[in-house]
Structure 1
Amino acid sequence: MTANVSQSTQATKYFVLDTNILLHDPLAFLSFDEHNVVIPMVVLEELDNIKDRNKDVSRDARVAIRSLEEVLQDATPEQIVEGVPLTQLSGDHQANGTLAIFPDYELEQSASALALNENDHRIIQVALELQIKFVGSTVTLVTKDINMRLKAKGAGVKHVEDYRTDQLIDDIRLLTKGFYQFEGDFWQQVGDVSTLQEGRDAYHTVSREHLPQIFYNEYFIDETEHFAARVDAFDETSVTLMDLGHERLMGYSAWGIHPKNIYQAMAMHALLDTGLDMVILTGPAGSGKTLLALAAALEMVVEKGIYEKIIVTRNTPEIAESIGFLPGTEEEKMAPWLSAITDSLEVLHKNDESMDSSLNYIMTKANIQFKSLNFMRGRSIQNAVVILDEAQNLTASQLKTIITRCGENTKLVVSGNLAQIDSYYLTAVTSGLTFIVERFKDYPGSATINLNGVVRSSLAEYAEEHL
């Protein structure tokens, strides 16, 4: 870059973007307000290598390349290195800084830098060069790669950050659980209440001052094990609760499965409610997320005939490049990554005279289809229950791909454990699962349930608590 340090650059910040930022959010360069964004040439090389691959991120690479080209297409080589104003890009954004491409191939190895034969090291070197060039400004390397952040700090980059534009909460403990548990007896705390009876359902309207922050379809329970309700409606002064009753809620069942605790009972109630378009199940391994989702899906497809089929999908990062070479149908190729579903099917039919025959019958009767997330784009799913498992490893963009595929009479069940994130680039607070829990808590057609407690076995429970 050739800009001279001046008074205007003293307060300016420079953000150097890693490749994974543009794959995570192809328009990330528009998220830095009045500050300047620098993209090393090696990032463009990596995007070029990714755009033609047979994997989901290739689309994000192509979008990023087209967006960058739209900004830089009329600029001269000197202007591209200097920085092109982002204000000339049309669209809904607030960016008024500049976008520049840094020719990192011209860099020479310095004593303080890492070897330049690795792409990550070239990006780190760009940040180091800018630190020297713009002494009065803050230069920040932005990457989702935790190890790269450590290497950058070790190499001397003063400011290294994760990309947090899509981070809605700072602490995972602040994430809504989808229910609120009162201490003591709920009815001793609310004071005045008016009740409306509609058939077997009772609706109680109480003052909002007695309740915590309210979300649509949020459940309420207390310590007496008698009271259980769900938010039906609310305004600035009052809240209307649909009385469910603890005992009545625990009496729900689906495909022969009964809830083992009140958290599973709330989840089953939400899963069987056809008025909800989406149910999000979070919680530790062994809490029953997959089993409950599958049992409810079978109940609604086979027994009640509300939906026509069950589609099961999950994130399979390593499958993207190899699935085409595996033998068999798409369902057969997906089977190794969806063993949790087949395990749950076996649990549901373990007492049948011939379990194998039962499983084959149910797979056909319920029209259970195993689909790769990478091949869901462009589809329109109708009259189905869609179970998206292991969602904690997905970004918000990937989850949006699935949610926007759901058409008429489709129910989406999203489940995941935020303590078991396998992605190098995601944390509990930046996971797409966290993102949709926060984004959809105000949507009347969805409910979230955090399944407290492990019911798989005492061994699993002890491991969850102590490992």
Structure 2
Amino acid sequence: MGDTDRKIFVLDTNILLHEPFAIYSFKEHDVVIPMTVLEELDRIKDSKRDVARDARVAIRALENLFKDATPDEISEGIPFSHEQQATGTISILADYMLQETFKAFADKEGDNRILNAVLYLQNKRAPRDIILVTKDINMRLRAKGAGVLFVEDYRTDQLIDDVEYLTKGFQKIPGDFWEGIDNVETSVLGSNTFHTFSRDAIAPSYVNQYLVDEESDFAGRVADIHEDDITIKDLSHERLLSRQAWGIRPKNTYQGMAMDALLDPDIDLVILTGAAGSGKTLLAMAAALEMTIEKNMFDKIIVTRNTPDIGESIGFLPGSEEEKMMPWLAAITDTLEALHKHDHCTEGSLKYICDKANIQFKSINFMRGRSIQNAFVLLDECQNLTASQIKTIITRCGEGTKIVCSGNLAQIDSHYLTPVTSGLTYMVERFKNFSGSANIHLNGVVRSRLAEYAEENL
């Protein structure tokens, strides 16, 4: 590897599972892959876990780099490419040959070997910086305790530094919206009213962003943005709160904005974020039933969500795929029951509605490779998905399909995801400039006063 000013990055296994092509993020430096990482990738690639595909992709990426290299070149390091900007090298370290320097947790032998490799390089390559990169928080703590000088998280996929800066989907205008806005051109198209004025008057950042003010009854949605002017679709608070689907009316302005986006046939992707009890799933299911049964806009409703251990445990549950999924989709069935709780026979109504709307409960594992046409897709609890898993689902959607993704960034269960690296955050930021999508952060808990108090005080 030679003595240079380049840093040496040692990658943990979870980095390659989180982002199989992560090695190319370090191509101006030297990357070391411990043999332990390859062994762990080998075990995972044949497993039933949902990261098995990512393990195989990472292995193929490494094989493409090393396929023509000799054993000596692999251990010394080969260049990522011969391009001018790719000045770094990548190598494999046979860490099983190293003498033990750190040992703890007998059940964490793989982690111990990786730490040994980092400590070995730290001594041998001094004064060069040896940096361990891992998504595992406890591994970072153990590394620092073992004497590793530099430990980092993988942040290349991080679009924002703090979830507080995440786009909310709406902009609150202080005072009266129309104050300070001159030269407004108003046009009427069907039942919709549009206002066009100078873009300098307000500073919305993207199409389909909602605008509400604090004093008047004004509410609107950005319909179009040009270089000099902007067009707003006039909605008004009253109109937002009067929208209804399957007997459900919005309880606040935020739910009104969500309902407006859910019922708009021109919006293909709706992203709902917010606290537990803010109404994400209820609004989505109500809109799905309204548009599928009453308006005949879709042929079926597909409900799916990520389950951290579904690859291991779904097979042990009795019944068909849909019956196996029911324990994880209880939130959806609870919502359906809530929508029909006043019916004479709730159970009979649910069976009739599920048949009439052709509601299908699917595992996210079996969505890959499908092409979903003319369907309303509800992807629930997607804060636990990575960006690549989100992409897998959204790219399945064909013509006439609307997808609603909902999640709460405060309820992430994944070992390797944080609010800023969640696929939900990634999707909100990536799709905010897409005219066929809308994102609404639902403020306020409407489930019950108990749930609201718990959300604010626990």
Q: TM-score, normalised by structure 2?
A: 0.97
- CA change 1:33–1:72 in 2 (3 A) is closer
User: Match for 1:406: what amino acid?
Assistant: C
- Measure, in 2, the Cα distance between the counterparts of 1:350 and 1:218: 34
Partner of 2:245: 254
The 8 Å contact of residues 315 and 391 in structure 1, kept in 2 or not, is answered as: yes
1:254-302 per-residue CA deviation (whole Å, 9 max, x = no partner) reads 0000000000000000000110110000000000000000000000101
Q: CA deviation at 1:162?
A: 1.1
Q: Map 1:36-435 to 2 at 5 A.
A: 36-87=30-81, 95-110=86-101, 114=104, 118-435=109-426
Taking only the aligned residue pairs, the percentage that are identical comes to: 64
Q: CA deviation at 1:41?
A: 0.3
For structure 1, the 5+ residue unaligned runs are none
- Measure, in 2, the Cα distance between the counterparts of 1:283 and 1:300: 23
User: Match for 2:295: what amino acid?
Assistant: K
Q: CA deviation at 1:123?
A: 1.1
- CA change 1:275–1:84 in 2 (3 A) is same
- CA change 1:213–1:200 in 2 (3 A) is closer
- Measure, in 2, the Cα distance between the counterparts of 1:213 and 1:160: 39
The 8 Å contact of residues 55 and 374 in structure 1, kept in 2 or not, is answered as: no
1:375-434 per-residue CA deviation (whole Å, 9 max, x = no partner) reads 111111111000000010000000000001101100010000001111110100000000
1:464 aligns with 2:458: no
Q: CA deviation at 1:24?
A: 1.0
- Measure, in 2, the Cα distance between the counterparts of 1:56 and 1:428: 20
- Measure, in 1, the Cα distance between the counterparts of 2:196 and 2:121: 61
Select 1:26's aligned residue among 15, 20, 30: 20
- Measure, in 1, the Cα distance between the counterparts of 2:86 and 2:184: 50
User: Match for 2:138: what amino acid?
Assistant: N
User: Match for 1:274: what amino acid?
Assistant: P
- Measure, in 1, the Cα distance between the counterparts of 2:232 and 2:425: 26
Partner of 2:432: 441
SS of equivalent residue, structure 2 residue 327: helix
The 8 Å contact of residues 226 and 246 in structure 1, kept in 2 or not, is answered as: yes
The 8 Å contact of residues 113 and 155 in structure 1, kept in 2 or not, is answered as: no
- CA change 1:274–1:94 in 2 (3 A) is farther
The 8 Å contact of residues 31 and 94 in structure 1, kept in 2 or not, is answered as: no
SS of equivalent residue, structure 2 residue 186: strand
What is the aligned length? 457
- Measure, in 2, the Cα distance between the counterparts of 1:374 and 1:201: 42
The 8 Å contact of residues 31 and 95 in structure 1, kept in 2 or not, is answered as: no
Deviates more, 1:145-154 or 1:433-442: 145-154
- Measure, in 1, the Cα distance between the counterparts of 2:122 and 2:375: 54
Q: TM-score, normalised by structure 1?
A: 0.95
User: Match for 1:47: what amino acid?
Assistant: L
Q: CA deviation at 1:225?
A: 4.9
The 8 Å contact of residues 308 and 414 in structure 2, kept in 1 or not, is answered as: no
For structure 2, the 5+ residue unaligned runs are none
Q: CA deviation at 1:249?
A: 1.1
The 8 Å contact of residues 203 and 243 in structure 1, kept in 2 or not, is answered as: yes
SS of equivalent residue, structure 1 residue 336: coil
The 8 Å contact of residues 313 and 372 in structure 1, kept in 2 or not, is answered as: yes
User: Match for 1:61: what amino acid?
Assistant: A
- Measure, in 2, the Cα distance between the counterparts of 1:440 and 1:246: 26
User: Match for 1:344: what amino acid?
Assistant: T
SS of equivalent residue, structure 1 residue 371: strand
- Measure, in 2, the Cα distance between the counterparts of 1:323 and 1:421: 21
